[in-house]
């Protein structure tokens, strides 16, 4: 059905538009009905990713007007409905604390500290080959080339202390207003430093559905005011599980012989995310849950969903690497053991 | 605070960040704040300098910095999140319940 979406977006004739839209609706409904696992469905996650990309950098050769076209919005809504349902059913929720800055921050630190899943960062530090390190960057590029953007949707959707806290974090993500210090730009420099193409979207076809799902989840949380609790919780959990892994990623690239041009992105995140996690846990998530206690549940849903999806993605990546195969999608089928 | 119109024409336009270089006390109306985050670092906001023991300025990489107070950061004086790994506590644990005194 992602092919049907592209066919619709590429048409310039209003006569065929109606037919193509009907086909797309039909195929989307069928795909949603038939999918064994929406989080692992390449077709549905690709379609949602493409539709969302119209809201970010756009799609080459596609009219920007499609961003707000009712057919595209309806496509997003139909996938989002099932996507959110799957995340709510599957992400393991912790026991909710009382709404308060201290209690929410403490519970978030406990939740993220208990995350003892398989560790991509330890593997990267100690074992990853140069080829696996390239795959690592390709997988990360889906989000990191637009790092911080999905959470920025929440800025106009928040008020009061939570808004100020989010702006303080995001300003740092965007390099304090310096282009060459923007985290997305630092990541692009890392990619170029190992010889990869840092053009936004270049590797979309090479990554598995779960990597697209991770990015799509953030856009869904960020772009719906109703889910502002979830995007706040997501950012908190993301920042709280970031500084130590980034130290290990940096060590991995140093072990493989790369210089500061390549490792600066990771080293920068060790320091930055140690700041951000404090602000995100207390001043963003804690304040939000205190000021709007009805959002408490969603703050923890966003955190739990982020940990769950990224845990699945990490486990798949490690499984592929330890089995001696590629963690990428295109290469995956070609290099299956005979 | 210098208004852009008052700048001599032969000087390059000021960038936003330059106001901090020119006016070390620019934060005078907004004093430096240090916030102690429970079981974590000290967050410093405002206009400030961090110096080495010999008086050299440690260039800040961001406007809000987190200073280590658990002692195990690998980036001292900055925090690297290590306090979580060692279970660093800033708040005293609630006292364990005492056995009742013998009558």
Position B8 scores a pLDDT of 46
* Segment A310-334 mean pLDDT: 86
- Cross-chain Cβ contact B81/A109 below 8 Å: no
Position A2 scores a pLDDT of 95
Last residue of a domain, one of A31, A61, A90: A90
Position A49 scores a pLDDT of 98
Closest chain A residue by Cα to residue B39: A106
* Spatial distance between the Cα atoms of A234 and A217, rounded to a whole number of angstroms: 9
Tell me, yes or no, whether A200 lies in a domain: yes
Same domain, A47 and A121: no
- Cross-chain Cβ contact A279/B63 below 8 Å: no
Tell me, yes or no, whether A95 lies in a domain: no
- Cross-chain Cβ contact B74/A247 below 8 Å: yes
Same domain, A56 and A121: no
Taking only the tens place, the pLDDT of each residue in A5-49 is 999 999 988 888 999 999 999 999 999 999 999 999 999 999 999
Same domain, A325 and A249: yes
Q: What is the 3-state secondary structure (H, E, C) of A207-233?
A: CCHHHHHHHHHHHHHHHCHHHHHHHHH
Tell me, yes or no, whether A43 lies in a domain: yes
Taking only the tens place, the pLDDT of each residue in A94-110 is 999 999 999 999 999 99
What percent of chain A is modeled with pLDDT above 90? 94
Position B19 scores a pLDDT of 46
* Spatial distance between the Cα atoms of A326 and A334, rounded to a whole number of angstroms: 9
Tell me, yes or no, whether A320 lies in a domain: yes
Tell me, yes or no, whether A322 lies in a domain: yes
What percent of chain A is modeled with pLDDT above 70? 96
* Spatial distance between the Cα atoms of A218 and A305, rounded to a whole number of angstroms: 10
Tell me, yes or no, whether A96 lies in a domain: no
The count of domains in chain A is 2
B76: left (phi over 0), alpha (psi -120 to 50) or beta: beta
Closest chain B residue by Cα to residue A172: B62
Nearest Cα of chain B lies from the Cα of A280 at a distance, in angstroms, of: 12
Position B93 scores a pLDDT of 67
Contacts of B85 in chain A (CB under 8 A): 244
User: B31-90, which class in CATH?
Assistant: alpha beta
Taking only the tens place, the pLDDT of each residue in B8-46 is 445 445 444 544 554 444 445 678 999 999 999 999 999
- Interfacial residues of A (vs B; Cβ cutoff 8 Å): 102, 105-106, 109, 113, 168, 171-172, 176-178, 243-244, 247, 268, 270-275, 277-279, 282
Position B91 scores a pLDDT of 78
How large is the C-alpha radius of gyration of chain A? 20
Same domain, A105 and A81: no
Same domain, A125 and A64: no
Last residue of a domain, one of A38, A58, A90: A90
Same domain, A65 and A107: no
- Cross-chain Cβ contact B80/A271 below 8 Å: yes
Position A117 scores a pLDDT of 61
Nearest C-alpha neighbor of B83 from the set B53, B34, B42, B44: B42
* Segment A299-324 mean pLDDT: 97
Chain A with chain B: Cβ pairs closer than 8 A: 63
Position A82 scores a pLDDT of 98
Same domain, A49 and A157: no
Same domain, A86 and A106: no
Last residue of a domain, one of A90, A113, A138: A90
- Residue from B43, B50, B66 whose CB has the most chain A CBs within 10 Å, to mutate: B66
Q: The tokens 């076809």 sit on which residue?
A: A205
Nearest C-alpha neighbor of A206 from the set A250, A140, A279: A140
Nearest Cα of chain A lies from the Cα of B72 at a distance, in angstroms, of: 13
Q: Please give the residue range of the domain that contains residue A167.
A: 101-334
* Segment A307-328 mean pLDDT: 96
Reported ipTM: the value is 0.89
Same domain, A127 and A165: yes
- Cross-chain Cβ contact A244/B81 below 8 Å: yes
Nearest Cα of chain B lies from the Cα of A235 at a distance, in angstroms, of: 16
Mean pLDDT of chain B: 78
pLDDT range class, residue B7, cuts 50, 70, 90: very low
Position A261 scores a pLDDT of 95
* Segment A45-63 mean pLDDT: 97
Helices assigned H by DSSP within chain A: 2-10, 14-34, 42-53, 70-90, 101-113, 120-126, 130-144, 149-152, 160-173, 183-193, 209-223, 228-240, 243-255, 260-278, 287-291, 296-322, 329-334
* Segment A293-319 mean pLDDT: 97
Nearest Cα of chain B lies from the Cα of A110 at a distance, in angstroms, of: 10
Same domain, A118 and A222: yes
Same domain, A130 and A51: no
Taking only the tens place, the pLDDT of each residue in A117-156 is 669 999 999 999 999 999 999 999 999 999 999 999 999 9
Taking only the tens place, the pLDDT of each residue in A211-253 is 999 999 999 999 999 999 999 999 999 999 999 999 999 999 9
Same domain, A126 and A228: yes
pLDDT range class, residue A331, cuts 50, 70, 90: very low
* Segment A59-85 mean pLDDT: 97
pLDDT range class, residue B65, cuts 50, 70, 90: very high
Q: What is the CATH number of the domain that holds A230?
A: 1.20.910.10
- Cross-chain Cβ contact A275/B85 below 8 Å: no
Nearest Cα of chain B lies from the Cα of A87 at a distance, in angstroms, of: 28
């Amino acid at each position: 059905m992602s092919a049907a979406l592209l066919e619709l977006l590429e048409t310039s004739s209003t006569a065929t538009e109606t037919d193509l839209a009907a086909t797309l609706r039909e195929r989307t409904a069928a795909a949603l009905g038939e999918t064994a696992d929406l989080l692992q469905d390449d077709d549905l996650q690709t379609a949602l990713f493409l539709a969302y990309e119209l809201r970010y950098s756009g799609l080459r050769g596609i009219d920007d007007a499609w961003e707000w076209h009712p057919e595209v919005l309806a496509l997003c809504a139909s996938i989002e409905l099932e996507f959110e349902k799957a995340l709510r059913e599957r992400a393991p929720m912790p026991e909710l604390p009382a709404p308060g800055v201290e209690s929410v921050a403490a519970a978030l630190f406990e939740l993220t500290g208990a995350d003892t899943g398989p560790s991509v960062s330890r593997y990267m530090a100690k074992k990853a080959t140069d080829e696996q390190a390239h795959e690592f960057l390709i997988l990360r590029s889906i989000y990191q080339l637009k790092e911080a953007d999905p959470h920025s949707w929440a800025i106009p959707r928040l008020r009061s202390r939570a808004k100020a806290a989010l702006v303080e974090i995001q300003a740092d993500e965007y390099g304090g207003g310096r282009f060459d210090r923007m985290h997305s730009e630092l990541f692009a420099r890392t990619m170029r430093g190992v010889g990869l193409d840092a053009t936004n979207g270049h590797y979309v076809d090479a990554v598995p559905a779960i990597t697209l799902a991770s990015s799509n989840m953030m856009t869904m949380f960020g772009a719906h005011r109703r889910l502002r609790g979830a995007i706040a919780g997501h950012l908190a959990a993301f920042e709280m599980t970031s500084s130590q892994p980034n130290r290990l990623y940096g060590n991995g690239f140093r072990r493989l012989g790369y210089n500061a041009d390549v490792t600066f992105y990771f080293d920068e995140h060790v320091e930055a995310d140690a700041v951000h996690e404090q602000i995100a846990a207390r001043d963003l998530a804690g304040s939000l849950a205190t000021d709007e206690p009805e959002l408490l549940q969603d703050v923890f849903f966003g955190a739990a969903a982020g940990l769950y999806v990224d845990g699945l993605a990490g486990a798949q990546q490690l499984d592929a690497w330890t089995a001696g195969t590629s963690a990428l999608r295109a290469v995956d089928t070609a290099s299956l053991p005979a | 605070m210098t208004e852009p119109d008052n700048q001599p024409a032969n000087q390059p336009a000021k960038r936003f960040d330059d106001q901090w270089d020119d006016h070390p006390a620019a934060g005078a109306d907004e004093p430096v704040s240090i916030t102690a985050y429970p079981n974590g670092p000290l967050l410093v906001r405002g206009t400030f300098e961090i110096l080495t023991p010999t008086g050299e300025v440690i260039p800040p990489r961001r406007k809000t910095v987190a200073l280590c107070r658990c002692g195990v950061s690998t980036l001292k004086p900055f925090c690297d999140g290590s306090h979580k790994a060692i279970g660093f506590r800033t708040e005293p644990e609630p006292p364990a319940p005492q056995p009742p005194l013998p009558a």
